[in-house]
Amino acid sequence: MNPYWSYALTAVGVFGLFLAGRKSRWGWAVGIGAQSLWIAYALSTEQYGFLISAGAYGWIYTKNFLAWRREARRVAA
């Protein structure tokens, strides 16, 4: 596998964080999607430690997205 994949995947994750920091719901979607890419990367390179981090990051992205959405709905009401 091309060694630049890990750099590209990191860039996608950082971009998701950037968007989330700007309060864009797309930031959470990009972050969650990036975790599926990390899972594919972990499996194809047999670096199974990334499966744990992808699961943890995915859980946190989802948890924060749901909290952010609840807050946005509360403020809008």
Which pLDDT tens digit goes with each residue over 3-38? 788 889 989 999 999 998 898 889 988 999 999 999
Domain that holds residue 49: 4-76
* Span 27-51, average pLDDT: 93
Euclidean distance between the first and the last CA atom of the chain, given in angstroms as a whole number: 49
What pLDDT does residue 1 have? 67
CA distances from 35 to 63, 67, 77 (A): 14, 19, 32
As separate numbers, helices (DSSP H) first and strands (DSSP E) second, the chain gives 3, 0
**Total domain count for the chain?**
1
